[in-house]
Amino acid sequence: MHHASGKSDHYHAVVDSHWRVNSAPVFAAGGDSIKQAMRAYEVTRKPVSQANQPMPEIIAAQYDELVELAQLASHAAVARLEMLASKHPAVSVLNNLLAAAYSRQGRMKEALAVVERNYKQSPEYLFARIQYAQLCLLAGKVDSVPGIFDYHFDLKLLYPTRTKYHISEFAAFAAVAGEYYLLKGDREAAESYYRTLKHVAPEHEMTERLQSLMGDGE
């Protein structure tokens, strides 16, 4: 199911897609708007550090291994992630990985609890926002989603000082925005977001999932 090209993609795809059965990607609004928005920042496949989300050196050193554990989601893998998240409760990345691992095991109650706690703890963290928005969509609270993103479905407006995003950050943000617009009945916006993803990340899982969610119309 996962089509990302490297380890730096894996964590994000796990985080934003496997705890939910159907989630869709999206971003931007129309050809010219898309081009203008993307001139404001770079989308890359290389790891992107975030100063407001510090990661202890001990976690950073084993990050790739932890990503694989979250995907594996064996009992031993989940137990290790639980232990680390318990020792480092303020590290949002660990909470995201743990939620992903829970969801892969079908432990949705625990996954959703971690997602909600992570968002309340780190409401500015992009993936905490994304997962919490997916939680709201899952619960039918569609109108709660815009506020989670400060009413900005544009990364440059949401984070004015950031100039670089990992491709999976871009795709995940697009995914939750896309589902929001589809549920609101704005198919035209959803289609423009799909075209953006098709251009930026044609083989990404989120792109394929949005196309699937939209059905035969695209």
Amino acid 45: pLDDT: 78
CB 97 within 8 A of CB 67: yes
What are the residue ranges of helices labelled H in 55-186? Answer: 57-60, 63-72, 75-87, 92-104, 108-121, 126-138, 145-148, 155-158, 167-183
CB 43 within 8 A of CB 170: yes
Strand partners, 165: 43
Across the range 124-132, mean pLDDT stands at: 91
Angle at 151 between CA 203 and CA 48, to 5 degrees: 45
Does an H or E element contain 42, and which?
strand 42-44
Amino acid 44: pLDDT: 83
Give the pLDDT confidence of 13-63 residue by residue, as tens digits. 333 333 332 333 222 233 444 555 556 788 887 767 665 666 788 888 888
Q: To the nearest whole number, what is the mean pLDDT of the chain?
A: 78
The structure's pTM equals 0.77
Give the pLDDT confidence of 159-187 residue by residue, as tens digits. 998 888 888 788 888 888 888 998 999 99
Q: Which residue has the higher pLDDT, 119 or 55?
A: 119
Of the candidates 202, 195, 200, 199, the one whose C-alpha atom is nearest the C-alpha of residue 214 is: 195
Neighbours of 170 (CB within 10 A): 25
